[in-house]
Structure 1
């Protein structure tokens, strides 16, 4: 801890005090970053090398530094994660508070998992980790160079809104190199408002002779221009313009202009050459300085992506999506019957019924036990002028095409019989050990303009179920165009998942081909995520291909692997397998108070306007009793903390008057409980309208909160109440809370309710 001059490490140098915290499971990686930071004048609030982490782990450190006022950003270097739910809970909480940059080593270690489906093979561990980091709102970097760029950026510049970058350079070539790098990395080149003497082009070329005054004259209008969100100034030293003079001009101009700005526009600098004086000038002005265009663009995009990651953190999908109603009982029965029969794969009929239970359209099929039955099943389709597809059915053959087990475009009974004989002959030759239970007969579905996709579920040993989406077909693993996401999903998260693949561009309209129904594809992914939530016995699910066009999406072929129980390490409080706790729909209640229906439910992220309206109309005295002081304004940041919850460690129940008014449903009150990192104790807070007093609402909210705490295994519930707030103290007394005066504040009363038997204090 540099600020306290505490060094219990083997680092070569003690870093300067600063506001970046470094947490690493590798001592050598931590030492490398500390050494780099020491050479570049970057200060750290702490640097920890955890090693094997037998006690304190990464999640503990994230919890600590998230609440540390000395730390503005967290640098995280790790290898493997032991407890995914604990890590994701801590990471999401930390990322809501401040930027967290993560570097993972060992990304390309051999994958020793035995995945037999396409989706399982596509869900490589590194891809799953990347999906988890993205969902947690972490800034993921690939190597130490990117980590150093992130440290340089975060050490000088705070995150900012927007993504449009203006580039200023003393040469068209170096400016275009930076613009090219920005485009390659998915960044946005800003427009430029014309100014006196400067063209409306980006990058702006000042010419090779540009000196300090030239940079100052060009930088000032860019800092005032609303067409960009940040400025990158590039300087190549020449005999006519030294690096220190230009750096001084950039620093002084930025200081002067930003002093009059409410939102201070970021400035980044590239100073080619090794001029220590230029570096010191820029560092003193808080301007990140880089040696190459690649480093500078990465540093800029780190902050852009941090801001964008906050949007993902604001979404917490329901555990029961509202867009459809799955027949969960029927689905569970299908899986249970197969398990009782000792099956590890669902047969084609069971797969079709399972998809139907989740309203996922599929091509109907008939299961035929032999060649004669296959011909008979094909006849109605052929008689109607259609063609059929014939597929082998075997619990031992996952990929039917590997043994020639699929025959298409069969238009007569003779074709069907010949195809069936051919399939059997090759199956016996290629897989003599395989059990052939029959054939699946399906009407042919022409691909036409439909896009071939793949969608499904895979099982990761660390993070549990993973949703997989990408380009489908027999070469799916070779093409490797896929994106992964951790369930639960909503439509927005599913659409983002689709957008991270190359095949997403083919879903758009092109030439005379209309756009595919993107919502239907996204809703299929949401349904699969819900299936994973409802059926932990489903270990892998493969829809390949999923055909999509303007009319919707349909599963042409699918397979489902099942197993008993939960994977090792996934059982626990709440949902047994998900690394991210879904919205707890099961805690929604409808209560009646004095003849009025009141809905009580867990708070949702979209409830911020509801809370804003509530605080605007609630009695100021009630607000003072809740927050122990008058509160005049409730900012967006404050309301986000009330509505953006990680349901693994916090809950808030909101009470809504079901009676409709001109303003819609009114919020009558809310209760909140936030547990500590270990789930041992939880601190509560409650606020209800004055008109709701005496109705029993406060008592009911507290009872529901206590029930939730017990269900989570929390040992005790605690809180602080103003001594003058007698109604609240009376409610606590009825609920069995022990009340004691606060020894540090005579006006406060601490209340405590044990939910588990607490051990007696040991004798001294």
Structure 2
């Protein structure tokens, strides 16, 4: 369940406070006082069997005695009373409750159920939504509702705050009140027994009063539900996250380097980035970033131009920018000449643009005007240090018109105290964010840059296919064979066979049982060779001297094998030797050693890791993680977030590594983990990369049978290849399949071949071409919530044609889906629309939707006729449109929307 009945939580017409009292310091007294003081305009009903009046209002002795069913109930009673109260409220017709009470983990009876479970079972038949238990409550300032026991209220604003910590609620409300920050909603989630962060994100994404969403997170439950809700919210509103738990409590034991390195916080950071949200490190950063992201001009790149009236502050800003990964804009000759025309001869002639300390207001305006016109900069930072020559307020007055008319981001830093207060206020009113120090302004710019990058990644919805040369049949057979034999750890030879099945280049390796077999293998491979010990008790061979390189003749190999046995006997006497692996010695002097792999996170499931490889991988600690599925764009972003990425470019005496080959390995590992969920850990270390490509030297894999419950689903649903169908239409073959991001160009061409009338039928307005944002919205979809099928005419050696498209967008509760269908104008009337609609109806029924709805213009006769033929009912809306509806099943979507108590 997601947003079902949450409107009664955020916008109730009446409120009951159950457990209301006048006892000082009690939760019931505080909650009632806050509700009464908040200015809520609807009826407020105190409930307590021990009182006739509370807070000057009539008090009702029981839920049954209330004059009406309250939209929202606030429960402040003892834990044992909660399940029965929820049952009574549900029977009366209440559809939302906030349970402030803690301690519902206690047993509810003889059958092992907890009070929490009993509460949810009581709510289930009535679809009554529960916030909490053990929460501070909720504030909806726009309707004057303070349904909490927080010590402070809030004024109305455009920010929504959602917190998993009650202590943070009190602290942030206090902090925000002191700074004049208001909220559209403030939610304390408590134990998230029913309403969780994903539910609230879904609701706030559609809330007109909320312009940005702030999250304080301590943990995430259902990763796919969270990612779908977060990606949906972040597409339409800035969503910022303050996540606790950056420092791991301790490293867990893992069979592979990847399993040990992929820490939970790294994974959570990757999830936030992939969802298009922005992570910040402190409460202050949370609100500063919200203010900066509210600017009307989105940031397009990482190049910052700095103008200052003092060299020192400009240098401080430049240092902070470069250290944070930003880029100092390189101003071209023409821009420098235009700047020079209005600046004194001793200005800096570079970025930072030092306009000198005696600058009058006109000089500031000249420099800002020219920098705003410079194509070399993505944003401008204005720094002013107070002087006795010109008051800061006069400078701000001169700049205000430029700031109001600007088409590019400008950040203002007014250094000092009382002398710059007027200037700071004037520039705020002009719409520019203001900061007290150069470093704070640069940090805000870097956050904006990160947010812009995350938004670009949000639009990437990769296919689960990695291209040719993936032998999934052989790979699955190998995994099944290993599991059938009870072997959960693949040695180097089998691991390389698995990689090879996915087209990842490997060094041919032979596993041998003893010394003689090793000598024979080396003679056949040809010296020089590498020999490694094979032992089920030694996950990392280098730790015990189990690897010998560059063996160039038979006697050297004999000595190496003997030395390996001696070292193993000394360091790990209990370790069993199963044999050795022998492979050709690879001499790629200019290759960089990398690591790539797969790990399993307890929350987000499979993740991919990349970083600096070799024997010192843990000590170097240079890695980044990403959630699958990946495409080359996402793989490039993963690589860019490591320090070793800087070593992959051209260096003295070494050409740049073939980056496309590195990205290709990561994309193929992404497909491997999609196809083979039994692979829970995988190392490729080292992965060599140079100008000739990438090569896996060593690999290790850990498996887990799916039946053991160790296999977790992907947090982001990949392209559903299993839904592809081939059919014959009008005597020609067609491919019907889900839409892919790669369909952008074909979709734009398809749209261009629609008549103006057909565009009006689909868009309800006149549109000549799809904007990039519209095109992305149509082709880059979240398959967990939306589906679009395209009819494709394939052409050998030429781009495929899109002939028609049908789509459905499910509501967050996955009960009802809204459909739309469009066929290329020159192909209408030939049955293609019906073919697509029948495919969509089958998909919707199988996915658990109960109803498909749609809207059509009154004169869209073809669609209305098709809908009637498919069994849709229709009714006029009174607004020139017809509402269409097709019931697929009774209930709530085949279990997809059941109340948490039923799970």
Work out whether 1:149 is the aligned partner of 2:284.
Answer: no
Q: 2:313 aligns with which of 151, 165, 174?
A: 174
Work out whether 1:670 is the aligned partner of 2:805.
Answer: yes
Structure 2 CA distance, aligned partners of 1:159 and 1:746? 37
Q: 2:377 aligns with which of 228, 234, 254?
A: 228
Matches within 5 A, 1:179-190: 179-190=318-329
C-alpha spacing 1:541/1:227, structure 2 compared with 1 (3 Å): closer
Please name the residue that 1:57 is paired with: 196
CA drift at 1:87: 1.1
Please name the residue that 1:478 is paired with: 619
Match of 1:7, SS state, is: strand
C-alpha spacing 1:154/1:361, structure 2 compared with 1 (3 Å): closer
Work out whether 1:340 is the aligned partner of 2:340.
Answer: no
Q: 1:716 aligns with which of 844, 851, 857?
A: 851
Please name the residue that 1:137 is paired with: 276
CA drift at 1:264: 5.1
Match of 1:101, SS state, is: strand
Please name the residue that 2:471 is paired with: 327
C-alpha spacing 1:555/1:398, structure 2 compared with 1 (3 Å): same
Q: 2:521 aligns with which of 365, 368, 377?
A: 377
Work out whether 1:696 is the aligned partner of 2:845.
Answer: no
Structure 2 CA distance, aligned partners of 1:612 and 1:356? 38
- CA contact under 8 A between 2:857 and 2:880: conserved in structure 1? no
Matches within 5 A, 1:230-379: 230-255=379-404, 258=405, 263=407, 265-274=409-418, 275-322=420-467, 324-379=468-523
Work out whether 1:406 is the aligned partner of 2:541.
Answer: no
- CA contact under 8 A between 1:473 and 1:544: conserved in structure 2? yes
Please name the residue that 1:206 is paired with: 355
- CA contact under 8 A between 1:133 and 1:140: conserved in structure 2? yes
Please name the residue that 1:618 is paired with: 754
CA drift at 1:660: 8.8
Q: 1:492 aligns with which of 628, 633, 643?
A: 633
C-alpha spacing 1:299/1:536, structure 2 compared with 1 (3 Å): same
* Deviations, residues 157-184 of structure 1 (Å, cap 9, x unaligned): 5523343322222211011111111111
Structure 2 CA distance, aligned partners of 1:759 and 1:635? 34
Please name the residue that 2:582 is paired with: 441
Which has the higher mean CA deviation after the structures are superposed, 270-279 or 527-536?
A: 270-279
CA drift at 1:486: 1.1
Structure 2 CA distance, aligned partners of 1:578 and 1:278? 51
- CA contact under 8 A between 2:678 and 2:711: conserved in structure 1? no
Work out whether 1:24 is the aligned partner of 2:163.
Answer: yes
Match of 2:298, SS state, is: coil
Q: 2:720 aligns with which of 584, 594, 601?
A: 584
Work out whether 1:216 is the aligned partner of 2:365.
Answer: yes
Please name the residue that 2:74 is paired with: none
- CA contact under 8 A between 1:536 and 1:566: conserved in structure 2? no
* Deviations, residues 285-322 of structure 1 (Å, cap 9, x unaligned): 22211111121112122223322222222221111122
Match of 1:503, SS state, is: helix
* Deviations, residues 360-387 of structure 1 (Å, cap 9, x unaligned): 2222222222233223333334xx5x22
Match of 1:266, SS state, is: strand
C-alpha spacing 1:53/1:112, structure 2 compared with 1 (3 Å): farther
Task: Give the TM-score of the pair, scaled to structure 2.
Answer: 0.77
Which has the higher mean CA deviation after the structures are superposed, 29-38 or 95-104?
A: 29-38
C-alpha spacing 1:511/1:627, structure 2 compared with 1 (3 Å): closer
Please name the residue that 2:217 is paired with: 78
Q: 2:650 aligns with which of 509, 528, 541?
A: 509
Match of 1:536, SS state, is: coil
Match of 2:487, SS state, is: coil
C-alpha spacing 1:552/1:312, structure 2 compared with 1 (3 Å): same
* Deviations, residues 260-294 of structure 1 (Å, cap 9, x unaligned): x6x35534333332454343323222221111112
Which has the higher mean CA deviation after the structures are superposed, 155-164 or 704-713?
A: 155-164
CA drift at 1:242: 3.5
CA drift at 1:81: 0.8
- CA contact under 8 A between 2:530 and 2:547: conserved in structure 1? yes
Which has the higher mean CA deviation after the structures are superposed, 534-543 or 412-421?
A: 412-421
Work out whether 1:91 is the aligned partner of 2:227.
Answer: no
CA drift at 1:463: 1.1
* Deviations, residues 141-166 of structure 1 (Å, cap 9, x unaligned): 12234323313313555523343322
CA drift at 1:11: 4.7
C-alpha spacing 1:62/1:724, structure 2 compared with 1 (3 Å): same
Q: 2:534 aligns with which of 387, 393, 401?
A: 393
CA drift at 1:685: 1.0
Structure 1 CA distance, aligned partners of 2:580 and 2:388? 81
- CA contact under 8 A between 1:368 and 1:440: conserved in structure 2? yes
C-alpha spacing 1:642/1:428, structure 2 compared with 1 (3 Å): same
- CA contact under 8 A between 2:680 and 2:711: conserved in structure 1? no
Please name the residue that 1:636 is paired with: 772
Q: Which residues of structure 1 form unaligned runs of 5+?
A: 572-576
Q: 1:117 aligns with which of 256, 263, 283?
A: 256
Please name the residue that 1:574 is paired with: none
C-alpha spacing 1:633/1:441, structure 2 compared with 1 (3 Å): closer
CA drift at 1:759: 11
Structure 2 CA distance, aligned partners of 1:718 and 1:360? 46
C-alpha spacing 1:202/1:38, structure 2 compared with 1 (3 Å): farther
CA drift at 1:696: 1.7
Structure 2 CA distance, aligned partners of 1:364 and 1:610? 41
Q: Which residues of structure 2 form unaligned runs of 5+?
A: 1-139, 895-903
Please name the residue that 1:705 is paired with: 840
- CA contact under 8 A between 2:505 and 2:696: conserved in structure 1? yes
- CA contact under 8 A between 1:157 and 1:266: conserved in structure 2? no
Structure 2 CA distance, aligned partners of 1:249 and 1:27? 46
Work out whether 1:430 is the aligned partner of 2:564.
Answer: no
Give the length in aligned residue pairs: 744
CA drift at 1:568: 4.5
C-alpha spacing 1:278/1:108, structure 2 compared with 1 (3 Å): same
